[in-house]
Amino acid sequence: MSVKILGIESSCDETAAAVVEDGSKVRSNIIYSQIDLHEVYGGVVPEIASRKHVEKINQVIKKAMQEADCTWEELDAVAVTYGPGLVGALLVGVSCAKALAYAKGLPLVGVNHIEGHIAANFIEHEDLKPPFMCMVASGGHSHLVYVKDYTEYEIVGRTRDDAAGEAFDKVARAIGLGYPGGPKVDKLAKEGNPEAIAFPRAHMEDAPYDFSFSGLKSAVLNYLNGCEMKKIEINRADVAASFQAAVVDVLTDNSVRAAKAYGCEKLALAGGVASNSALRARMTEACEKAGVSFYYPSPVYCTDNAAMIGVQGYHAFMAGERSGLDLNAVPNLKIGER
Partner 1 sequence: MKILGIDSSGMVASAAIVTDNVTTAEYSVNFKKTHSETLLPMVDEILTMTDTHLDELDAIALAVGPGSFTGLRIGAATVKGLAMAAEKPVVPVPTLDALAYNLWGTDKLVCPIMDARRNQVYTGIYSFENGVLRAHTEQLALDIAELAEQLNALGRPVIFTGDGCPVFEEQLKTLMKTEFSFAPAQMNRQRAAAVAALGAIYYAEGRSENADEMKPVYLRKSQAEREREEGKGTYYES
Can you give the binding site for partner 1, defined by CB under 8 A?
A: 40-43, 45, 47-48, 50-51, 53-55, 57-59, 61-62, 72, 87-88, 91-100, 102-104, 170, 173-174, 324-329
Write down the least CB distance from residue 143 to partner 1, Å: 22
User: CB of residue 77 vs partner 1: minimum separation in angstroms?
Assistant: 14
Closest approach, Cβ 94 to partner 1, in A, equals 6
Q: Which is nearer to partner 1, 1 or 103 (CB)?
A: 103
d(CA 270, CA 135): 6
Cβ-based neighbours of 8, under 8 Å, separated by 6 or more: 16, 17, 57, 61, 78, 79, 80, 81, 93, 96, 97, 306, 309
Quote the radius of gyration of the chain (alpha carbons, Å). 20
Rounded Cα–Cα distance for residues 199 and 242 (Å):
7
Please report how close the Cβ of residue 43 comes to partner 1 at its closest, in angstroms.
4
Q: How far apart are CA 243 and CA 85, in angstroms?
A: 27
To partner 1, the closest distance from the beta carbon of 58 in angstroms equals: 4
Q: How far is the CB of 79 from partner 1 (least distance, A)?
A: 14
Q: Among residues 91 and 269, whose Cβ is nearest to partner 1? A: 91
Which residue number, 88 or 297, has a Cβ lying nearer to partner 1? Answer: 88
* Residue 85 C-beta: closest distance to partner 1, Å: 14
Indicate the pairing of strand 77-83 with strand 4-9.
parallel
Nearer to partner 1, 205 or 326 (CB): 326
Residue number, 40 or 126, with CB nearest to partner 1: 40
CA 93 to chain centre: 18
Residue 321 CA to residue 78 CA, distance in Å, equals 12
Judge contact between 167 and 213, C-beta under 8 A: yes
- Which one, 24 or 95, has the nearer CB to partner 1? 95
Closer to partner 1 by Cβ: residue 51 or 148: 51
Q: Is 118 helix (H, G, I), strand (E, B) or coil?
A: helix
**CA–CA separation, 84 vs 114, rounded Å?**
8
Query: Which of 18, 196, 169, 3 shows the shortest CA–CA distance to 97?
Result: 18
